[in-house]
Amino acid sequence: MKFFLLKIHDLLKQEKYRFMFYGLIFGVIFGLEVNLYPMKDKPFLWALIGAVLSLIIYLAYTFFVPWLKNTFIRAALSRLLGAMYDGDEECIIFITELKNTEHRLQNYQGKFIVGTDRVVGTGDAMALPYLYNLLIKAGKRHDKINVVKSFDNINEYFKKNFISIGGLTNRVTEMLLKDYRNKFEFFFSDKGNAIIKKYSDNHYQYVEITEDHDYGIITKISNLNHDGKTIFVIAGINDMGTTGAAYYLYDNYEKLVKQFDDRDFSIIIQVSRMIGESSARKFNFDNDSRECEVK
């Protein structure tokens, strides 16, 4: 008897059997309380009907809820990604591959690595899956996502929808910040250790990397070259800033849509070096940054 009860308990842990059990109980109670011809005084028949109906409701529930959730997710992402959301449009992800020309690569044990002299920065490599999966969540097909190294010939990709991962080490990010300075709310200092915002010709504020925190930028710009495309720049001062910015975009896209709807935006993300990208939060730059002079 104990084994039988334990078996029932294990079954009831599964949602579909729990629905059937509820239906069974409901059917018995309904059959005892309601006197309907021609099935009066047949509570067990009502119990069977209740169990079957509960299973049908469960199947409908398990189909409808994920479908509804996915619909809301894609509706939010369509507003966030803009033209990038179009399933037939190719999306480029620019990432920097660094070439080691002076010394051979070594692993953590100090042994030389044979077979490659090119590497991707830690922050860029960790940021890539978040952004790639964000596009997949939006319904983008794998064959419409193209990961391109930023030192390759970028001119053929430049007028497409794209995401540029990484700060000034990424050639695309560097070109955008240099050639379209007036379009970007934030930019990096010459040394690359701070993020600066221009309020007026005589008013600049900045935030600088510390032992405890790194900082990153999330910027969305539409129609930069008057071609209707959408561009994202995900860039950090150091690796953790880049990873944190990518994580924040992936994990908080609904908040960003509520705040900015389908408009362009630029925000600063603060990340704890000790905790990692999961600590990424929106940084109140206007209130918490410091004034500086820019020559």
Contact assessment for residue 270 and residue 94, using Cβ atoms and an 8 Å cutoff: no
Q: Domain for residue 217, yes or no? A: yes
User: Reduced to 3 states, what is the DSSP secondary structure of residue 218?
Assistant: strand
Give, for all 295 residues of the chain, the pLDDT tens digit.
555 555 555 555 555 566 556 666 665 555 555 554 444 555 556 566 666 666 666 666 667 766 667 777 888 889 999 989 887 889 999 998 877 666 667 666 777 767 677 788 889 999 999 999 999 999 899 999 999 887 767 777 888 899 999 988 888 998 888 888 888 889 898 888 899 998 887 888 999 999 999 999 999 999 887 788 999 999 999 999 999 999 999 999 999 999 999 999 999 999 999 999 999 999 999 999 888 776 6
How many other β-carbons are positioned within 10 Å of the β-carbon of residue 271? 30
The last residue of a domain, from among 75, 109, 124: 75
Q: In this structure, are strands 265-272 and 213-222 parallel, antiparallel, or unpaired?
A: antiparallel
Q: 70: domain range? A: 2-75
What is the tally of structural domains in the chain? 2
Residue 80 domain flag: no
Tokens, residue 96: 């920097």
Last residue of a domain, one of 75, 105, 137: 75
pTM, two decimals, is 0.77
Q: Are residues 64 and 99 in the same domain?
A: no
Residue 106 DSSP one-character state: B
E strands, 74-156, are: 91-95, 97-99, 118-120, 145-149
In a domain, 112, yes or no: yes
Task: Look at residue 14 and tell me if it is in a domain.
Answer: yes
